[in-house]
Structure 1
Amino acid sequence: MIDPLDPPALAAPGWEELLTEPGLALLTEVSERLAEPGVTAGQLNTQLRKREVDPALIAAALTQAELRMKARSKFGELADALLFTQAGLEQATRARVARTHAERFVRAGCRSVADLGCGIGAESLALLAAGVTPHAVELDPYTATLATHNLATLGRKLGRPVPAAVRADAESFDLAGIDGAFLDPARRTAGHRDTRRVASPDDYSPSLAFAFAVAQRMPTGVKLGPGLDRDLIPADAEAQWISVDGQVVETGLWFGAAARDGIRRAALVMRGESEAHELTAAADAEDAEVRELGEYLYEPDGAVIRARLIGDLGRSLDAGMLSDRIAYLTSDTLTKTPFAQAFRVLDELPSKEKELRRALAERNIGTLEIKKRGVDIDPASLRKRLKLKGKQSATVFLTRDARGGHIALLAERC
């Protein structure tokens, strides 16, 4: 445990003042003024300087107001009452995803959960809203202060007392009397802004070895990046990949009562504010058989690809792999599915660049979406070299066929 009397790590000038009553009042004023038509940050900065407001505090308030606006996509209206750092917002779990995490702990019967490495408190906020008492733990003192503010804000709204975030190293926090644990090991270097991703799982903080050791003691969730090396997944974990509006946002590893019986691989696909679909299996799925190109082409959602459930999806669609180990499916029939985008194949074009350019020009195509798998091509560079002109738009798939040869498929979305 870190001594609470230790001097805090320095935040940017003006940021600590935001946490005072005058600072929060100024932030409210800045946020409201920026919402007015025609009011710019520059104009507001000039007006506040004339009132002899500390320039550092003005800069902090303007930055925080901007972060709140960005945070609405993750936290909804609650963002307007929370405080963020740039790095904290980037790393924070979307509120909708965090709710799915909290629901696991509720189903596991947990009344209290340690949020080890809580950041600005996104997971703890979801736990609190679900009726679970969060014990937020954060090593960085300023971030821990923001997490305390954020939890207290939601606590007042819900009429519930909330423990303050504890400034501590997650690996030294006493878990006695706590029912479950959630860990979001830092994948970046420390700091409030301009952070970078670490290169090795060994550099995660807290370490993966510690996270997996906690998982042997109690219901546990570990949030990791979608590109996690699958060799690191413990055999007793349920691994769930989550995509939101087509973007894979995390790999979640779940243990003990927080994991589901008989499930080791899952792909959760979220769309909008309420739509959610999940594909699950007891293990990686065997790929579907490779077959000749059909009338339709399916591009599986990234979560399905990461979970290696393409084969199960293909069999449910009566589709086969377009090529061995390439994540495109093809079928002669169209079946609606939330787990893939469907395209109707219009034509097979020449795969050589010069001939492809001529074929696209003959079809008056000026706007081209380029999708590729299994070929070494940079779509942006290729699009420039194609020198497209025309009024039509289209999608081209650059990939390989059942025999491994290069192909270019002209298609339209179903």
Structure 2
Amino acid sequence: MIAVEDVAFLRSRHGAKALENAAALELTPSTLIADLAELRSRYGSRAPALVETVRCRRRAVGRLRDPEHWLLTDVALQQATAGVVAARRAAEIAARFSGAVVHDVTCSIGAELVELADNGGIGAIIGSDLDPVRLAMAAHNVTGATLLRADALTPTSTADVLIADPARRSSSGTRSFRPDDFSPPLLDVLTTYAGRPLAVKTAPGIDYGTLRARYGFDGQVQITSLDGGVREACLWTELDDGVRQRATVLRVVEGALRVEEVTDLESDDVGVGPAGTWIVDPDGAIVRAGLVRHWAHRHGLWQLDPKIAYLTGDAVPPGERGFAVLEQLPLKEKMLRKALASRDCGSLEILVRGVDVDPDELRKRLRLKGSTPLAMVVTRIGTRAVAFLCEPGWRRPA
């Protein structure tokens, strides 16, 4: 475990050189014992901190900006907001609260602070945390922020906007979606900063319906995805735009960020009908935000079944992935094997919604022997389980 003294060493000129030397080693499972022994012979008790820092930096590639300069721990990296997501939030805060003072009350190693500091539309930045090691790391990682050690449940500033990211682990150490298990508890955070603009990051799997019904949360729930993976739910308070549910879909395409947002203020008037030319599986942020019908209306799609998230239409929305329909069949393995064999199918991507089917087990039972790649969308229409044989997934350029 990295201590404050280790951080002081890593921040020194000698520590910077030691990190360079550690980065030159493989530090893989097969070399770790020998590499650690070499580092111990040169840097003594600082060797474990060097190993953890270098290995974390390598894992942070694509997640944090310029990760080779960061000081961080394994747990802190797991909890850190992806740079693209944090930068998007900073831009949103700057647009809504131009010139605001922003205080991250659980700043950890500074993943949010870095992006806030890089946004010229934000006035000043404060970061606080109870963990002295993470604060020392944040002091290295972030420039232009005021840092202090403080409990998130003890207001220590009059900042215009607050950000919080409670740890989502139960007392046993396992990941939890129960707001009472968060540290600090979610309700305590919301209560402490009631009446002030607050953004609370939490797990995308949180039951926001219960959050509203049981805890009385009446703010906005924003679900964000990045490059197809759902990253977080963010609970916003004191916004006056009337939106209660929002999906933010972020994709980095050829180095440029593409953003699509859907809200519950848009129409959800869509029909239900037979499959069109394409089947489209909406981004996970749209599904978890409960905005499938709103997104379908925007793009002229319709539903195969009113309770299933698969959509269909005659065109694939820009930047999205669609499956060109070849044939619809009952979900009967004998019929599927025959149809796949007739199309010389050798590899098969299987997507499933609304039916209790294990894609890997089904693929094995279908005994594919051909050479043509295909896709199969398994779902339920009414009470019938059906399978759509499709061409391989195709992503329309944005």
If the TM-score is normalised by the length of the shorter chain, which range does it land in?
0.7 to 0.9
The alpha carbon displacement at 1:110 in A equals: 4.8
Structure 1 runs (4+) greater than 3 angstroms displaced: 10-20, 39-49, 233-236, 282-287
| Alignment-derived partner of residue 43 in structure 2 | 53
Structure 1's 341 and 325: CA in aligned 2 closer, same or farther, altered over 3 A? same
The alpha carbon displacement at 1:17 in A equals: 6.6
| 1:269-319 CA-partner distances (Å, limit 9, x unpaired) | 111142323233345864632212222211111111122221122223332
The alpha carbon displacement at 1:399 in A equals: 0.5
| Alignment-derived partner of residue 345 in structure 2 | 365
For the pair 1:244 / 2:235, whether they are aligned, the reply is no
| AA partner of residue 314 (structure 1) | A
For the pair 1:405 / 2:387, whether they are aligned, the reply is no
RMSD: 2.8
CA contact (8 A) 2:4 2:136 kept: no
Whole-Å Cα distance in 1 between the matches of residues 247 and 345 of structure 2? 35
Q: Give secondary structure in 2 for the equivalent of 1:72.
A: coil
**How many pairs align?**
381
Structure 1's 360 and 138: CA in aligned 2 closer, same or farther, altered over 3 A? same
| Alignment-derived partner of residue 128 in structure 2 | 137
Give ranges in structure 1 of 5+ residues lacking alignment.
1-9
| 1:19-46 CA-partner distances (Å, limit 9, x unpaired) | 3523333112222x2489xx96566445
1:230-241 correspondence runs (5 A): 230-231=208-209, 232-233=211-212, 236-241=218-223
For the pair 1:168 / 2:147, whether they are aligned, the reply is no
Whole-Å Cα distance in 1 between the matches of residues 389 and 137 of structure 2? 51
For the pair 1:271 / 2:254, whether they are aligned, the reply is no
For the pair 1:387 / 2:376, whether they are aligned, the reply is no
Whole-Å Cα distance in 1 between the matches of residues 60 and 203 of structure 2? 20
For the pair 1:374 / 2:354, whether they are aligned, the reply is yes
1:80-119 correspondence runs (5 A): 80-107=68-95, 108-119=97-108
Whole-Å Cα distance in 2 between the matches of residues 354 and 74 of structure 1? 45
The alpha carbon displacement at 1:336 in A equals: 2.9
| AA partner of residue 201 (structure 1) | P
Moved more, 240-249 or 177-186: 177-186
Q: Give secondary structure in 1 for the equivalent of 2:378.
A: strand
| AA partner of residue 146 (structure 1) | M
| AA partner of residue 95 (structure 1) | G
For the pair 1:289 / 2:271, whether they are aligned, the reply is yes
Identical residues among aligned pairs (%): 34
Structure 1's 320 and 42: CA in aligned 2 closer, same or farther, altered over 3 A? same
Residue of 105, 117, 124 corresponding to 2:113:
124
Whole-Å Cα distance in 2 between the matches of residues 13 and 280 of structure 1? 44
Structure 1's 18 and 364: CA in aligned 2 closer, same or farther, altered over 3 A? farther
The alpha carbon displacement at 1:12 in A equals: 7.1
| 1:332-383 CA-partner distances (Å, limit 9, x unpaired) | x214334x42221011234122332343233222211110000001112222
The alpha carbon displacement at 1:328 in A equals: 0.8
| Alignment-derived partner of residue 139 in structure 2 | 148
| Alignment-derived partner of residue 306 in structure 2 | 324
| Alignment-derived partner of residue 3 in structure 1 | none
CA contact (8 A) 2:106 2:166 kept: yes
Q: Give secondary structure in 2 for the equivalent of 1:105.
A: helix
Give ranges in structure 2 of 5+ residues lacking alignment.
none
For the pair 1:396 / 2:376, whether they are aligned, the reply is yes
| 1:112-170 CA-partner distances (Å, limit 9, x unpaired) | 2221112221111111222443221222232222222222xxx1xxxx4x323x23221
